[in-house]
Amino acid sequence: MKTDNMDLKPNRLLSLDFMRGLIMVLLALESTGLYGRLTAQVEETFLHGFMLQFEHHEWHGLHFWDLIQPGFMFIAGTALAYSLSKQYQNGLSWGQSLTKALKRSGWLFFWGVLDYAVRKNGLSFELWDVLTQLSFTLLVAFLIYRWSVLSQLLVSIGFLLLTEVLYRYMYISGFDQPFTDQQNFGNYMDLILMNKINSGGWVAINCLPTAAHTIWGMIAGKILLSSRLDLGKVKTLVIAGLCCLLLGYALDMAGVTPMIKKIATSSFVLVSGGWCLLMLAFLYWWIDVLDHKKYLSFFLIIGMNSIFIYLFFEIVGSRWFNGYVFAITGGLLDLVSVPEHIVELISCLCIFAFEWGICYFLYKKRIFFRA
């Protein structure tokens, strides 16, 4: 991990920065426990169904929250396209870029493992963090960056087909149910890699199918960097997004491949990738084409240090800081007899305000952490 005193140039793709910032704001708020507490407080009201959208679907199905990780990996691919384009314009060779890519993937893998490494009962080796997944998908995207778009699409489809084959045709006793929790090939591979199975159903080899997210994000970035007319770029992204949605939902509704986020089935990857493409298309059109650039700073500030703030609320926040803030705000608000459910919400917002404030300080000092 390194810090850069980076100049914020006016020709940045603000739609990408905003999308990254929006995702990080949503993740930061989730890390405070806000969504869970709101869900519990509206359990007997019509809002309960809405708040359930901020939780992962239990298994077969799709909630809004299931799109956050794909979005994170998708925009990483888009940012990679812009980064590599700048590197090659500045005269860096492929070998020099490869060295940077390997270092970045190494750091992402390290931080992803560290996120889950420290437990109350000792150290643990786990590969379920989004950063460990991203360390693989970004490296794959880098290695095929100079290939034709058709070749890149074929690679992404190849990863989806490989996943289908592994889950459907690797007959291993006890793990021969392709789409059943705790009994699928992904669970078996976790036993091989980590000697454990995730009780929630997550699997480490999600990095294979979700490589498509990062590859598609990279292709989207190359489209936005091209000399096409702006509306032509938007049209291309929209058509691609709609095709992904149509194919993904068709696979699910026809009973061919169920849409399951926790093992990243091909139908899920297609649907979530389609929504990511449509979101980027809309934001590019609204922000960069129509020039609606006011009121973005709140999101841009936290998005510019996405890796730092992710590690902060995942490691520091969850293990120490959140409880510390809850103790302070709870004690102070109890003095004036504030209801407990209000205290919880205020505490969550105080945690988020502090985290945003750290990002604001770094932003003002032009300090940006890069993997």
Q: What is the pLDDT of residues 260-312, one digit of tens each?
A: 999 999 999 999 999 999 999 999 999 999 999 888 999 999 999 999 999 99
> Is 329 contained in some domain?
no
Establish if 202 belongs to a structural domain.
Answer: yes
167 φ, ψ (degrees, to nearest 5): -75, -35
- pLDDT values of the chain reduced to their tens digit, one per residue, 371 residues: 555 444 444 457 899 999 999 999 999 999 999 999 999 999 889 999 999 999 999 999 999 999 999 999 999 999 999 999 999 999 999 999 999 999 999 999 999 998 888 777 778 889 999 999 999 999 999 999 999 999 999 999 999 999 999 999 998 999 999 999 999 999 999 999 999 999 999 999 999 999 999 999 999 999 999 989 999 999 999 999 999 999 999 999 999 999 999 999 999 999 999 999 999 999 999 999 999 988 899 999 999 999 999 999 988 888 888 888 989 998 888 888 889 889 999 999 999 999 999 999 999 988 888 76
What is the C-alpha to C-alpha distance for residues 343 and 332, in angstroms, rounded to an integer?
9
Q: What is the count of structural domains for the chain?
A: 1
Residue 29 lies in a domain: yes
Q: Which residues contact 325 (CB under 8 A, 6 or more apart)?
A: 347, 350, 351, 354
Q: In the numeric block, which tokens belong to residue 292?
A: 């609606």
190-204 burial code (b ≥16 CB/10 A, e <16): beeeeeebbeebbbb
Termini Cα distance of the chain: 5
Predicted TM-score of the model (pTM):
0.92
d(CA 185, CA 260): 14
Dist CA 343 CA 39 (whole Å):
15
Mapped onto helix, strand or coil, the DSSP state of residue 56 is coil
Q: Which residues contact 10 (CB under 8 A, 6 or more apart)?
A: none
Strand-pairing partners, residue 4, are 368
Which residues, at least 6 apart from 143, have a Cβ–Cβ distance to it below 8 Å?
none
The Cβ-side half-sphere exposure at 116, using a 13 Å CA radius, reads: 14
Task: Give me 92's structure tokens.
Answer: 């860096």
Residue 159 placed within a domain: yes
Identify the residue whose tokens are 């850069």: 4
Buried b (16+ CB within 10 A) or exposed e, 48-68: eeebeebebbeeeebeebbbb
CA distance 347 to 97: 44
**Rounded to an integer, what distance in angstroms lies between the CA atom of residue 135 and that of residue 157?**
20
Domain holding 163, by residue range, is: 12-305
Determine phi and psi for 368, rounding to 5 degrees.
-130, 120
Question: Could you tell me if residue 147 is inside a domain?
Answer: yes
- For residues 188 and 253, what is the distance between their CA atoms, to the nearest angstrom? 27
Phi, psi dihedral angles at 90 (to 5 degrees): -85, 5
Name the token pair of 231.
């509306």
Whether 247 and 270 have beta carbons less than 8 Å apart is answered as: yes
Does residue 317 fall inside a structural domain? no
Whether 181 is in a domain gets the answer yes
- CA atoms of 369 and 362, how far apart (whole Å): 9
In a domain, 364, yes or no: no
